């Protein structure tokens, strides 16, 4: 009983501190809204990635302001930002840098590439060949880059937000599963509704339309927010709920789901970790020092949709990983 009372007191104190510290991150959403119309869900997911130290894969047809959203976030956070346009002729050296020979002193010096920045926009990431993808893989997972046998740590925070276009497949390379698993979230961006479309017209329907985003937070505040997120309380029932959701993607028959023939591979342990961190970040943005099952359910589809690999039978039945994850979410009981 004493332990429970102590836990409640700690959670209450943490909640009070979070309510003070999360204000700048709510201001980020407000600043980005000066440029973006709608897309609140995308902005929310970008904040979760920023707070939980996880990369984002953003998918949507051209013209939905995916690039603008990431650029606006970088301005609001006041960090170094690099936009990389991925193309089929891109080389690893174009991304991470290379060694340059200096004839005057007959030595090689390292010339660092654009990957040495805080926020990286990998535009149309699926247009880059395998060698570039493998170079990016080390940066995303290890937060470091190797050039000529020498390893360099990347700046903190370091966040990759990649976009891809689901329509055009000519000249593209399918991202390997090992790389898609490195993305904490995969966010699907849809068309705006009619009201939002009208606001876009009224705001942007002029040649001189220009909107400024002010910096409202700093890397130090991000580090402090992450410290608080690490301390957010996750009850054992919520932990079991997270594990059940991920396990159901691997052994659905154990949970009374007839999906075994449709799932080739389920979520890895990285899915469990990322779902927990994303739920904690969601609680932080809501001003709470504890995670609820609703936090988990709200973010679970974005964490799991790219980690469930479907079988040919599923494709024949026109079942997608998203529909399978949605079925799991509706079937597993919320504690």
DSSP tally for the chain: helices H, then strands E: 14, 11
Distance CA(254)–CA(191), nearest Å, equals 38
The CB density around residue 212, as the number of other CB atoms within 10 Å, is 9
Lookup: tokens for 37: 């119309």
Concatenating the DSSP letter of every residue in 170-198 gives TT--PPPHHHHTTEEEEEE-----HHHHH
Predicted pLDDT at 261 = 93
- pLDDT digit string (tens) for the chain, length 335 residues: 234 665 788 899 999 999 989 889 988 888 888 888 878 889 999 999 999 999 999 988 877 888 888 888 888 888 888 888 888 888 888 999 988 888 888 888 888 999 999 999 998 888 888 888 888 888 888 899 988 888 899 988 899 999 887 766 665 677 878 788 899 999 998 888 899 889 888 887 777 666 678 888 888 999 999 999 999 999 999 999 999 999 999 999 999 999 999 999 999 999 999 999 999 999 999 999 999 999 999 999 999 999 999 999 999 999 999 999 999 999 999 98
Give the pTM: 0.89
> By the 8 A CB rule, do 23 and 247 touch?
no
Distance CA(55)–CA(146), nearest Å, equals 20
> By the 8 A CB rule, do 53 and 182 touch?
no
Predicted pLDDT at 5 = 60
Predicted pLDDT at 168 = 61
CA-wise closest residue to 133 among 73, 192, 176, 75: 176
Q: Which residues pair with 167 in a beta bridge?
A: none
Distance CA(213)–CA(27), nearest Å, equals 11
| CATH homologous superfamily, domain 2-205+214-221 | P-loop containing nucleotide triphosphate hydrolases (3.40.50.300)
> By the 8 A CB rule, do 272 and 154 touch?
no
Please return the burial class of 143, using the count of CB atoms within 10 Å of its CB with bins 0-12, 13-18 and 19+.
middle
| 3-class DSSP assignment, residue 158 | coil
Where are the domains positioned within the chain? 2-205+214-221, 232-331
Angle ∠(122,304,320) on CA atoms, nearest 5: 95
> By the 8 A CB rule, do 311 and 261 touch?
yes
State how far the alpha carbon of 260 is from the alpha carbons of 94, 237, 267, 317, in Å: 43, 26, 14, 14
Predicted pLDDT at 169 = 61
Predicted pLDDT at 255 = 95
Positive or negative, the CA dihedral 153, 174, 36, 185 is negative
> Which H, E and C letters describe 14-32, residue by residue?
HHHHHHHHCHHHHHHHHHH
CA-wise closest residue to 293 among 247, 249, 329: 329
The CATH T-level fold of domain 232-331 is: Helicase, Ruva Protein; domain 3 (1.10.8)
Total length of the chain: 335
Distance CA(179)–CA(122), nearest Å, equals 13
Cα-based torsion angle of the residue sequence 171, 65, 299, 175 in order, rounded to the nearest 10 degrees: 10
Edge-first strand order for the sheet with 119-123 is 81-85, 119-123, 159-164, 55-59, 183-188
């Amino acid at each position: 009983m004493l332990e429970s009372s102590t836990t409640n007191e700690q959670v209450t104190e943490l909640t009070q501190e979070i309510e003070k510290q999360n204000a700048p991150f709510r201001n980020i959403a407000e600043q980005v809204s000066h440029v973006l119309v709608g897309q609140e869900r995308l902005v929310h997911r970008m904040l979760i990635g920023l707070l939980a130290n996880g990369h984002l894969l953003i998918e949507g047809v051209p013209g939905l302001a995916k690039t603008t959203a990431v650029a606006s976030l970088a301005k609001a956070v006041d960090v170094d930002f690099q936009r990389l346009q991925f193309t089929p002729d891109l080389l690893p050296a174009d991304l991470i840098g290379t060694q340059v020979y200096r004839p005057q002193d007959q030595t090689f010096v390292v010339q660092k590439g654009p990957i040495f920045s805080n926020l990286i926009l990998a535009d149309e990431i699926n247009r880059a060949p395998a060698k570039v993808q493998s170079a990016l893989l080390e940066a995303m997972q290890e937060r470091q880059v190797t050039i000529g046998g020498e390893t360099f740590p990347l700046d903190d925070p370091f966040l990759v937000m990649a976009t891809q276009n689901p329509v055009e497949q000519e000249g593209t390379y399918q991202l390997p599963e090992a790389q898609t698993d490195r993305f904490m979230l995969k966010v699907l961006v849809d068309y705006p509704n009619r009201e939002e479309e009208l606001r876009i017209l009224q705001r942007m329907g002029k040649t001189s339309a220009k909107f400024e985003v002010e910096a409202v937070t700093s890397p130090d505040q991000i580090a402090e927010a992450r410290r608080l997120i690490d301390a957010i309380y996750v009850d054992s029932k919520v932990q079991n709920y997270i594990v059940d959701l991920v396990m159901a993607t691997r052994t659905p028959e154990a949970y009374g789901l007839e999906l075994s023939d449709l799932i080739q591979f389920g979520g890895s342990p990285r899915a469990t970790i990322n779902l927990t961190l994303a739920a904690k970040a969601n609680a932080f943005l809501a001003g709470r020092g504890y995670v609820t099952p609703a936090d988990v359910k709200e973010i679970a589809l974005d964490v799991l949709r790219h980690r469930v690999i479907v079988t040919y039978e599923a494709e024949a039945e026109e079942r997608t990983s998203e529909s399978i994850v949605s079925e799991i979410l509706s079937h597993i009981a919320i504690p």
